[in-house]
Amino acid sequence: MYYPRILTFAHPSELADEVATIESYAEGVERMVGKGSWRIIRISGVAATHAMILKQELLALDGDALVSPEVYLGNRDRGTDALIFASLRQLHELIARFRRLPLPALQRLADELETTLQAYDAMVRDTLIIAGRSFSWGQRTYLMADLSPTAHQFRGNGLSTDHDHTTVMVHQALQAAEAGADLLDVGDILLSSPVASRSIEQMTERLAQFITTLSQETNLPIAIRSYRLETTMAALQAGAHIVIDSHGLRLDDDWHESLAALIAARHIPLILAPGEPQAHGIHQPRLTGSDQTQATPATLHPSAVMHDLFSRLQASITYAATQGIHRSQLLLDPLGGVLHTPSHTPVVLQRLAELRSLGQPILIDVAHMLKDMAPQRLLTEPDHEKQAALMTLAIQRGADIIRLPQIQEHHTRTAHLLDTLVRPESKQ
């Protein structure tokens, strides 16, 4: 017997190892990896003429592209999305051909394709130093302890005084650090305070005092989740090291220039959430065929959900770069903003690997997922089992940071075990 079996590889390096068992020449291994590594890439808003050139060039390279039937049936007034089917070798040749064409739009597409391929297949990524600690993305999973009052409410620990909050949250932080937490998230106490009658100024002072106390008790990096400029400034002055912006550097209907300037001036990490849907003229995929009937936010096709999320995150990354924020300082929180509906959370988790195309470290909030993903069949399962299941899937799909409401030693052990299985460069 010949024993035929179908092989699957998570990364071109795994294919290279397999090829090397047969091909003894290094240049031959590299050549075959280019032929054997296939990619399916979706691009949006392609002009009809450019879409036809894209398809013709790929066919000439023995690849292919799917474009709207309206384009090749003669409607050249409307653009189209496209699916590219090609090997890495064909894609690199396509990029070279587009750069030789006197068409700026296709030259830009070539640049974007090259950037996407490099980001998606990157084995070695930037190391970020936060509060004197090294975070080497891709080598292992990092755990963030969520200390925010919202997290306490999820667990039924609602408290009524500042002293109670500070005492319990510092105790939680020390427990999390002992269990293996790498970062702390104090949230935004202004949004979830048990004393709603206080002014923003009073709450900002309270938050700063807590961060000062926390920074004296632990040396873990501290994140503040806020889009308010005054709150963010006070938190950073008190000892916070990271800003999580749930609005994606947006403020009302415009960009948040003041917050971006603060982040750039201080050279601190910024974790971007998607912000509001369909903001700033972001291209939306055009539905065709049966998909265009009765499409509502709750029934959006998974591809449309991911496109909207991807577009918003890309817009925030691009804006941050124009304001002097280095890409090495940017991380993504794809579930931290405003999705169309909680029913889209499983879609984002299942297709999380697509966000590797953006090239930034990814944070996933398990508490958020537990809140959104609560089908009846899961309600009776213990929380630690649900958390372990969601952690497993998120890490397999490429999450770099897992945020949990209460980190325990079994979370650390689970992350370490998964890293040895799914991260080729894992270092424990």
Which stretches of 188-256 are DSSP H helices? Answer: 200-217, 229-238
pLDDT at 283: 42
Residue stretches of the chain with pLDDT short of 70 = 123-124, 149-165, 188-198, 276-299, 337-341, 372-382, 424-428
Could you give the CA distance from residue 17 to residue 37 in angstroms, rounded to a whole number? Answer: 13
> Beta strand 80-87 with 64-67: parallel, antiparallel or unpaired?
antiparallel
Could you give the CA distance from residue 153 to residue 313 in angstroms, rounded to a whole number? Answer: 29
Report pTM. 0.87
pLDDT at 155: 41
Q: What is the CA radius of gyration of the chain?
A: 23
* Residue pLDDT, tens place only, 242-283: 999 989 999 888 999 999 999 999 999 999 999 765 544 444
Enumerate the β-bridge partners of residue 255. Answer: 250
Mark 26-53 as b/e (b = at least 16 C-beta within 10 Å).
Answer: eeebeebbbebbebebbbbebbbebbbb
pLDDT at 156: 43
pLDDT at 292: 43
Mark 246-275 as b/e (b = at least 16 C-beta within 10 Å).
Answer: bbbbbbeeebbeebbebbbeeebbbbbbbb
Amino acid at 12: P
Residue with tokens 């079996």: 5
292 CB contacts (<8 Å, ≥6 apart)? none
Residue with tokens 């040396």: 219
- Give whole-number Cα distances, 157 to 194, 367, 370, in Å: 11, 15, 18
Could you give the CA distance from residue 195 to residue 203 in angstroms, rounded to a whole number? Answer: 9
pLDDT at 383: 74
Domains and CATH numbers, the chain: 37-120 (3.30.1370), 127-288+296-422 (3.20.20.20)
pLDDT at 10: 78
pLDDT at 159: 46
Could you give the CA distance from residue 139 to residue 145 in angstroms, rounded to a whole number? Answer: 20
Q: What angle do CA 247, 250, 256 make, to 5 degrees?
A: 125
Enumerate the β-bridge partners of residue 84. Answer: 41, 65
Decide if 338 contacts 125 (C-beta within 8 A): no
